Structure 1
Amino acid sequence: MMDTAKTNALAAQLLADMGARTKYKPLRLDGATIDADTAYEVQRQVVQHAQQAGAGQVAGYKIGLTSGAMQRFCGVDEPILGRLLTGRQVQSGTTVRRADFVRLGLESELALRIAKPFPAMRDGNVFALLECIDQAAAAFEIVDDRDADYSSLDAYSIAAENSWNAGMILGPPISARELGSFGNLQGRLLINGAEVAQGNSSDVLGSPLNVMAWLGRFAQRAGFSLEPGQWVLTGSMIATKFPAVGDRVRFELGSLPPVEISVV
């Protein structure tokens, strides 16, 4: 059973560390790693604090650690969820300030927009979700890992920190019907015009639809609704890149319009 007083104290300490821009360290409660219930209660408080500071309303969800590349990169083996906020959305083609982050990271993703509530999610019915998605876009997730040491991560500590989400950059969206089931879209990441990595949309849990199904099951268990108009970042198909000041970063994914950002 979750100890409310200790969990609140843990959330307060994490918020203080984030505000002071200290180096990330895994969370511990009574000397042990935290569990999922504790992590997502701390996340609730972190998101609430951000909203009180003017970060806006929940605009959707990021599902992290969905690809083998990202799980190997972070040394973990399970997805995590974070909440996207309206005040942290940036348009493709604009700039972000490196100095606004402890360590700025960009993750290359397929974003899908929810059109209507999901059906009850059971194994094997992921294709029913095609009717629940109306738009798709290439996207960057902005993350701030607070200069984490990747040899000592745990998934629930990251989840508690709203899964490190610091924003979302959407490329121009298109109708989801044009992409079919969203699988096997080839991705290319370019920095200053040079290709630095490739990925594939099927690298995220085998299919972005599997990611959406995971989200549907998570929402059912946690007791919250997925609302029409919300965007879902389905996970980075390329390991996080940490751009430098002056970099121009572009992600191309299948037939989708690319998403671009400059770092100043």
Structure 2
Amino acid sequence: METNNASKIVSHAKHLASSWRNGEGVQPLTTLDSELSIDEAYFVQLHTIQEYIVNGQKITGKKIGLTSKAMQNLLGVGEPDYGHLTDAMEVKNGGEISFKRVLQPKVEGELAFILKEDLVGPNVTSLDVLQATDVIVPALEIVDSRVKDWKITLADTVADNASSGLYVLGGTPKKITEIDIKQIGMALYKNNELQNTGVGAAALGDPVKCVAWLANKLAKYDITLKAGEVILSGALSAAVEAKPGDHFKAKFAEFGEVSVSFTE
């Protein structure tokens, strides 16, 4: 990061963090700083994560966003983005989420990779990902935005930790050799009503490629994917808005399910 940008990075991170004090979304960074670059946005994210660590949180993994062509086209980009996960973001399978912990949440069904080896970019291949993966588990990601009404550009969501909120891991781990990850079917239910369906291939054609992309992207910022980390590999269908009282469940064909509820 250039020294003369440091104060701007800190100011932008504080702006996003103020959403929690006020209990509502804030103005998009890109309306305050029309020249905000994607690199600068990642440094805003990294500053926020460093603050989390200083306050006692531990990094548990990463999430990959914008893995569908539809979302990439919507934001006018040609690659995914990523955010960090911490231990404060994990919710137990079947658990409850108080609306005091979220601002404007939406729920996605995903596949989570649990690593048994480090993945160090920039030359990580799909084969490397397969070899470094311990198990795959069903997951729900609760995406959330500190930006009011989700009025985001790519730079806005990157700065906002890729709109990360919370995540839930299912309890049915499978070795990656036991499943055809591209063909796993997923059905997402809200209050027992089917909302949408998807398959593994919805994430850039192959979730394994998403993880390889992430490892290589992170090399630019001298970040390594560590053994034991959770990697949320991208939504398999559209995100569904959550309100207090809603119950969500994602069923994965021959792979179990994962669920969570929202309370006041």
Same fold (TM over 0.5): yes
Identify the residue that residue 99 of structure 2 maps to in structure 1. Answer: 98
Where in structure 2 are the equivalents of 1:13-32 lying within 5 Å?
A: 13-28=15-30, 31-32=33-34
Inter-CA distance 245–29: structure 2 relative to 1 (3 Å threshold): closer
Measured after TM superposition, the shift of residue 253 of structure 1 is 1.8
**Partner Cα separation in structure 2 for residue 88 and residue 153 of structure 1:** 22
For the 8 Å contact 2:30–2:153, the answer to whether it is kept is: no
What secondary structure does 1:45 align onto? helix
Inter-CA distance 146–221: structure 2 relative to 1 (3 Å threshold): closer
Identify the residue that residue 217 of structure 2 maps to in structure 1. Answer: 218
What secondary structure does 2:28 align onto? coil
Measured after TM superposition, the shift of residue 69 of structure 1 is 4.6
What secondary structure does 2:220 align onto? helix
Moved over 4 A (4+): 119-123
Measured after TM superposition, the shift of residue 241 of structure 1 is 0.9
- Identify the structure with the greater helix proportion: 2
- Which stretch has the larger CA shift, 198-207 or 74-83? 74-83
- In the alignment, does 2:124 pair up with 1:134? no
What secondary structure does 2:256 align onto? coil
**Partner Cα separation in structure 1 for residue 218 and residue 172 of structure 2:** 25
**Partner Cα separation in structure 2 for residue 33 and residue 19 of structure 1:** 27
- In the alignment, does 2:50 pair up with 1:51? no
Where in structure 2 are the equivalents of 1:123-202 lying within 5 Å?
A: 125-146=125-146, 148-150=148-150, 152-180=151-179, 182-202=181-201
Inter-CA distance 30–92: structure 2 relative to 1 (3 Å threshold): closer
Identify the residue that residue 114 of structure 1 maps to in structure 2. Answer: 115
For the 8 Å contact 1:76–1:153, the answer to whether it is kept is: no
CA RMSD of aligned residues (A): 2.3
Deviations 1:50-109 (A, max 9, x none): 33444x21000000111135446x644331111000122111111111243221221211
> Is there any run of 5+ residues in structure 1 with no aligned partner, and where?
none
Measured after TM superposition, the shift of residue 147 of structure 1 is 6.5
| Aligned-partner residue type, residue 97 of structure 2 | V
**Partner Cα separation in structure 1 for residue 241 and residue 174 of structure 2:** 31
Measured after TM superposition, the shift of residue 252 of structure 1 is 1.2
- Which stretch has the larger CA shift, 92-101 or 228-237? 92-101
Percent same amino acid at aligned positions? Answer: 25
Measured after TM superposition, the shift of residue 194 of structure 1 is 1.9
Identify the residue that residue 82 of structure 1 maps to in structure 2. Answer: 83
